[in-house]
């Protein structure tokens, strides 16, 4: 048994080439060369692996372990064969989480994502050709599954079972109750895994157990199933991260379904990786343990083979549908399209090239396309190990000063800068005060009282006015920009929050968060014009004065609402695919909107012209205020949990630089484009509020 375990440990560590290649290695090494197993044992194990869910090579390995030493043998062989790839994925997961925002990592996966689409498409074709053939029923089942998956962007379990039963009915056979029960064994096998708890780890275990029970025909059959749950339903990962997870599984040895360990690690760290791996591998393991002793009696049944053929046709169709769904996210321009086509041609024409080599080559192509060909004296990001070492020690931001602020240690909210006067207005929400800070003298010059629970604030130098929203009494207050005298207090709904000024109409627009509306106010006449309903809770509001549009977040429905500032009515709604979209910044020269989702803790990049989310990035928990430095083209996203996510905008897109911790409850940020200084009001630093001033460590 020791020699058998060492063999599978080596195969699990160095075994590339996919399930068929690994099964071929086992036949050559264990049956023909070493003669540890008979040909009959091998063929029966191969048949069981093909007829049951689970990765084929892993199922065959477990069956051979069972033949040698029963349940202990199957268990130990499973650990030996799957363990190496699991540990490799853990290491890659840690590096991805730690350094995934670096430009060279993003450039690598820019190319890898396109290559993965080509591999998935080819896998669907190969599986369909080998299992569907020219059978018109199976061809129809393949097409139905592909269309449903591509249209809905999800995979439905009932389609798999339905296709199996349609295949049986097409053979003019109706299953008996006893046989029906036998066919549903995988469902019963994983139904007890969820346990009594209701936490995230139990949900991970249950979901991945479902996934493991329906991997028929190819490990890639799990991809569309996982996409529907991981991305769309639970929002554990975004589209980019999901594609990266598939790529990680393809560049490591062992079964493709080991991608669940990468997903689990991103969701819940090491515990999540272990739970997800156990969940996905347990159902097929139990099938080997319980079915193997009785397999010879029904392995040759035409009825069982017909049912499995129908399920496998559905799996092939789902993979094809997944290639379409994921391809729309990964193939975003001509270079990625070229990479995908090139990889597909290579896989078809040069069949002996290992897929990991193809994927790594695609990653190198992505790096070259993003950063050019490496040369002597090239930027350090071309050398990953040095980048990692540098990133581990070099801070992104430097603290310039901590300036004490007056008042108790309570919450601050929005800030606004008048560049001409150098006055920075800070809403001390907890104290109901507006703190006026001189950025040139670096001192507080005034404290304005009488603004209950003040949240939004906006300086409008063109009108010499400052507007403050006060949810404590439901008003928006207009101040004189020089004397700070109160000019008017206007009713502004249930919970007035963010404020934006539209130059063309001369109106300010105030988000009424709880009232589900935007309040339009004549900024000169100081008159409320209209309450514009948007359906759900209103998030941040921004204006496009050149296009004469107002944008506001509908946090409840997950839409970006477009308002006509003249007609004062909703003009359009752009669905974002996430809810809790609160923070907002418009990059008008590039027709982009940056949106922070509190629900998923992500930054979304929305192409306003295409009305499509083109990128999603993880940020700190509870993202709130966004601020953009137009000079350095850096975007800052402040989060309640303390990190300040830093992004740099390039011609190739937005690149994440990191998430440095800047202080507790650092949910408000304002950057001065003239000096590149970053201002962060913090409510409690050693028992007192401070204004933390920081600057980028590098230009």
Q: Which residues of 234-254 are buried (b: 16+ CB within 10 A; e: fewer)?
A: ebbbbbbbbbbbbbbbbbbbb
Sign of torsion over alpha carbons 373, 375, 379, 383: positive
In tens, the pLDDT along 524-535 reads: 999 999 999 999
Are residues 55 and 257 in contact, defined by beta-carbon separation less than 8 angstroms?
A: yes
- What one-character-per-residue DSSP string does 633-685 give? TEEEEEETTSBEEEEEEETTEEEEEE--B--TT----EEETTTTEEEEEEEEE
**SS3 assignment, position 443:** strand
Confidence of residue 595 (pLDDT cuts 50, 70, 90): very high
Closest CA to 356 of 259, 263, 255, 247: 247
Cβ atoms 133, 356 nearer than 8 A: no
Q: Residues 501, 506, 511, 512: what is their CA dihedral angle, to the nearest 10 degrees?
A: 150
Residue 428: burial class (beta carbons within 10 Å; 0-12, 13-18, 19+): buried
Residues pairing with 597 in the sheet = 581, 602
Output the CA angle 319-43-9, nearest 5 degrees.
Answer: 75
Q: Which residues make beta-bridge pairs with 222?
A: none
DSSP letter at 242 equals H
Radius of gyration for the chain, computed over Cα atoms and rounded to the nearest angstrom:
29
pLDDT in tens, 484-518: 999 999 999 999 999 999 999 999 999 999 999 99
CA pair distance 467, 480, nearest whole angstrom: 9
A 10 A CB-CB count for 376 gives 4
Averaged over 413-440, what is the pLDDT? 96
Residue 608 has pLDDT above 70, yes or no: yes
Q: What is the pLDDT of residue 186?
A: 38
Q: Buried b vs exposed e over 144-158: b needs ≥16 C-beta within 10 Å?
A: bbbebbbeebbbbee
Q: CA 649 → CA 580, 629, 630, 634, 635, distances in Å?
A: 24, 10, 10, 6, 7
**In this predicted model, what pLDDT tens digit does every residue of 133-183 receive, in sequence order?**
667 766 776 676 667 655 655 545 555 556 666 666 666 544 444 443 443
Q: Residues near 205 by Cβ (< 8 Å), separated by ≥ 6?
A: 193, 194, 195, 275, 276, 278, 279
Beta strands at 415-418 and 423-428: parallel, antiparallel or unpaired: antiparallel
> What number of H helices and E strands is found in the chain?
18, 28
Beta bridge partners of 392: none
- pLDDT confidence of residue 387: 42
Which carries the bigger pLDDT value, residue 29 or residue 427? Answer: 427
From residue 450, how far is each of 313, 435, 438, 478 by CA, in Å? 69, 12, 21, 13
Give pTM, 2 decimals.
0.54
User: What is 522-562 written as a DSSP string?
Assistant: ETTTTEEEEEEE-SS-EEEEEEETTTTEEEEEETTTTEEEE
Question: Tell me, what DSSP letter sits at residue 395?
Answer: -
Distances (CA, A) of 5 to 17, 73, 440: 21, 9, 71
10 Å Cβ neighbour count for 393? 6
Q: What is the DSSP string of 553-581?
A: EETTTTEEEEEETTTTEEEEEEE-S-S-E
Q: How confident is the model at residue 288 (pLDDT cuts 50, 70, 90)?
A: confident
Tens digit of each residue's pLDDT (9 = 90 or more) over 263-279: 888 777 788 888 888 88
Q: Name which residue leads in pLDDT, 134 or 461.
A: 461
3-state DSSP percent of the chain in helix, strand and coil, to 5 = 45, 25, 30
Alpha helix (H) ranges present in 176-235? 177-183, 185-190, 200-212, 222-226
For the record, the structure tokens of 650 come out as: 């390039």
**Which residue shows structure tokens 């020791």?**
2
The H or E element that residue 23 is part of is helix 19-26
Nearest to 366 by CA among 340, 328, 390, 348: 340
Residue range 644-658, pLDDT digits in tens: 999 988 876 788 888
Region 550-578 average pLDDT: 95
User: Hey, CA dihedral for 485, 487, 488, 492, is it positive or negative?
Assistant: negative
Contacts of 589 (CB under 8 A, 6+ apart): none
Are 634 and 647 within 8 A, CB to CB?
yes
State the CB neighbour count (10 A cutoff) for residue 129.
11
Contact 646, 656 (CB under 8 A): yes
Instruction: Report the sign of the C-alpha dihedral through residues 29, 31, 37, 39, in that order.
Output: positive
Residue 196, pLDDT above cutoff 50: no
Q: pLDDT tens digits, residue range 81-131?
A: 888 888 887 887 777 666 554 445 555 555 555 555 666 666 556 655 655
Residue 321 pLDDT > 70 = no
Given a contact cutoff of 8 angstroms between Cβ atoms, the answer to whether 420 and 461 are in contact is yes
First vs last C-alpha separation in the chain: 61
Strands, sheet with 465-470, edge to edge from the N-terminal-most edge strand: 457-460, 465-470, 475-480, 486-491
User: Comparing 373 with 689, which gets the higher pLDDT?
Assistant: 689
Q: Three-state DSSP class for 64?
A: helix
Average pLDDT for 601-607: 91
**502 SS3 class:** strand
* CA–CA dist 685, 378 (Å, integer): 42
**What pLDDT is stored for residue 484 in this prediction?**
96
């Amino acid at each position: 048994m020791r020699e058998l375990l060492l063999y599978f440990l080596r195969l699990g560590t160095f075994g590339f080439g996919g399930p068929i290649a690994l099964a071929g290695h086992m036949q050559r090494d264990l049956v023909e060369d070493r003669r540890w197993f008979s040909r009959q044992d091998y063929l029966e194990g191969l048949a069981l692996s093909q007829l049951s869910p689970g990765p084929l090579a892993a199922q065959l390995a477990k069956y051979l372990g069972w033949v040698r030493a029963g349940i202990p043998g199957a268990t130990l062989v499973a650990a030996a064969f799957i363990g190496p790839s699991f540990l490799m994925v853990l290491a890659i997961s840690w590096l991805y989480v730690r350094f995934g925002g670096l430009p060279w990592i993003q450039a690598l996966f820019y190319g890898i994502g396109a290559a993965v689409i080509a591999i998935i498409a080819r896998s669907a074709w190969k599986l369909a050709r080998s299992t569907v053939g020219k059978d018109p029923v199976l061809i129809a089942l393949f097409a139905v599954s592909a269309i449903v998956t591509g249209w809905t962007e999800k995979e439905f379990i009932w389609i798999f079972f339905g296709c199996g039963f349609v295949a049986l009915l097409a053979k003019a056979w109706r299953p008996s109750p006893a046989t029906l029960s036998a066919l549903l064994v995988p469902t019963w096998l994983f139904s007890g895994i969820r346990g009594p708890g209701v936490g995230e780890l139990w949900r991970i275990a249950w979901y991945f157990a479902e996934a493991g029970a329906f991997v028929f025909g190819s490990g890639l059959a799990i991809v569309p199933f996982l996409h529907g749950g991981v991305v769309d339903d639970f929002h554990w990962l975004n589209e980019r991260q999901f594609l990266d997870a598939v790529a990680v599984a393809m560049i490591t040895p062992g079964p493709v379904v080991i991608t669940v360990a990468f997903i689990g690690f991103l969701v819940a760290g090491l515990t999540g990786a272990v739970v997800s791996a156990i969940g996905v591998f347990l159902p097929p393991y139990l099938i080997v343990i319980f079915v193997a002793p009785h397999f010879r009696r029904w392995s040759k049944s035409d009825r069982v083979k017909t049912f499995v053929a129908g399920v496998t046709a559905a799996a092939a169709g789902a993979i094809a549908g997944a290639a379409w769904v994921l391809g729309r996210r990964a193939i975003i321009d001509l270079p990625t399209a070229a990479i995908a086509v090139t990889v597909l041609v290579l896989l078809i024409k040069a069949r002996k090239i290992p897929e990991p080599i193809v994927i790594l080559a695609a990653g190198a192509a992505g790096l070259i396309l993003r950063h050019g060909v490496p040369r002597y004296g090239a930027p350090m990001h071309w050398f990953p190990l040095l980048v990692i070492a540098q990133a581990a020690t070099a801070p992104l931001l430097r603290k310039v000063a901590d300036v004490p602020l007056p008042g108790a240690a309570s919450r601050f909210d929005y800030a606004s800068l008048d560049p001409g006067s150098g006055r920075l207005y800070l809403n001390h929400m907890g104290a109901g005060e507006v703190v006026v800070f001189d950025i040139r003298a670096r001192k507080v010059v005034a404290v304005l009282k009488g603004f209950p629970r003040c949240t939004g604030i906006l300086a409008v130098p063109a009108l010499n006015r400052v507007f403050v929203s006060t949810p404590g009494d439901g008003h928006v207050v207009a101040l004189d920009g020089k004397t700070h005298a109160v000019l008017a207090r206007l009713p502004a709904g249930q919970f007035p929050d963010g404020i934006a000024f539209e130059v063309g109409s001369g109106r300010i627009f105030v988000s009424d968060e709880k009232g589900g509306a935007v309040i339009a106010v004549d900024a000169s006449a100081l008159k409320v014009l209209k309450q514009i309903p948007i359906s759900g809770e209103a998030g941040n509001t921004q204006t496009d004065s050149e296009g004469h549009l107002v944008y506001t977040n509908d946090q409840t429905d997950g839409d970006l609402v477009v308002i006509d500032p003249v007609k004062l009515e909703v003009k359009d709604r752009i669905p974002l695919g996430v809810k809790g979209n609160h923070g907002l910044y418009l990059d008008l020269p590039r027709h982009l909107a940056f949106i922070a989702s509190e629900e998923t803790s992500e930054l979304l990049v929305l192409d306003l012209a295409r009305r499509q989310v083109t990128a999603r990035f993880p940020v700190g928990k509870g993202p709130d205020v966004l601020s953009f430095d137009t000079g350095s083209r850096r975007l800052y996203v402040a989060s309640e949990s303390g990190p300040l996510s830093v992004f740099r905008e390039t011609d190739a897109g937005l690149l994440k630089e990191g998430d440095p911790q800047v202080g507790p409850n650092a949910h408000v940020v304002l950057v001065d484009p003239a000096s590149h200084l970053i201002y962060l009001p913090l409510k409690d630093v050693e028992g007192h509020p401070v204004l933390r001033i920081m600057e980028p460590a590098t230009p």
